[in-house]
Structure 1
């Protein structure tokens, strides 16, 4: 006799995410905690935190990339400086928004600043095709400067 295997039922979470979400919200509002799909609920809450960190790290990386463009890509400044400045302001505002809703992310930003500078530097070098030895491997500006709405890394005249 061959062993019989029962097909594992597809969970609502996997079958219809939006319906699962609606039902989970309704269960929470009704304080019906006994029927909650706790494993998937915990996974979703954990992913929210990862998503916030990923977003703010991405904004910081792109901010560093554009600060480097402003400071070092002289050949393209006349054409693109206005757009780069607009992007810098956008990334600063996005980071400020994230910090207003989750102030504890400030320590995450500080911890990831060096890594995101390096990533932004890679993007910048790829875009500019400048000699890597001309661009500092470590940031020559602080996180506080980078986030300051009035600070830009102007080239000395």
Structure 2
């Protein structure tokens, strides 16, 4: 059998195939446990990064609809489409990973502040602006 540990760095796709094969054959003695655990950990982090990114983009578009007076009439429909799109992506992640709901609630305030700091380059946002996660995730809410 190919040394899985060496294969991980040379050909990641082949490493996945050989690791799957080793698991199916219950060949635990030859498993590359360290890299397997790292990859599993990375999978979880990837879902969280996606969730963070979609949520920040959702918040940014809600903020645009609420405060970017100069552009809102021209861009309203496309921004609303983006709001629906990002909300759908978030809901898909949460449907497949219900345990991430708690993660999202715990990170939401920081994500919201990141979105505000980004959007303040384009328009004024009141200091006390906040939209709670439950509100921002409601279908039909656009700000």
TM-score, normalization by structure 2: 0.92
Give the drift of 1:140.
2.5
User: Of the candidates 24, 40, 55, which is equivalent to residue 60 of structure 1?
Assistant: 55
- State the aligned residue count: 139
Q: Is 1:43 the equivalent of 2:33?
A: no
Corresponding residue number in structure 2 for 1:150 = 140
| Structure number, greater radius of gyration | 1
User: Which structure 1 segments of 5+ residues have no match?
Assistant: 1-9
CA 1:62–1:137: 2 relative to 1, 3 Å: farther
> 5 Å matches for 1:19-98?
19-98=14-93
- Structure 1 segments of 4+ aligned residues over 4 angstroms from their partners: none
Give the match's secondary structure for 2:26: coil
User: Of the candidates 97, 106, 110, which is equivalent to residue 101 of structure 2?
Assistant: 106
Give the drift of 1:136.
3.3
TM-score, normalization by structure 1: 0.84
Give the drift of 1:123.
2.1
Q: Deviations over 1:110-148 (max 9, x none)?
A: 01111111111122123x1x24xxx13454221001011
Corresponding residue number in structure 2 for 1:16 = 11
User: Of the candidates 98, 113, 136, which is equivalent to residue 126 of structure 2?
Assistant: 136
User: Which structure 2 segments of 5+ residues have no match?
Assistant: none
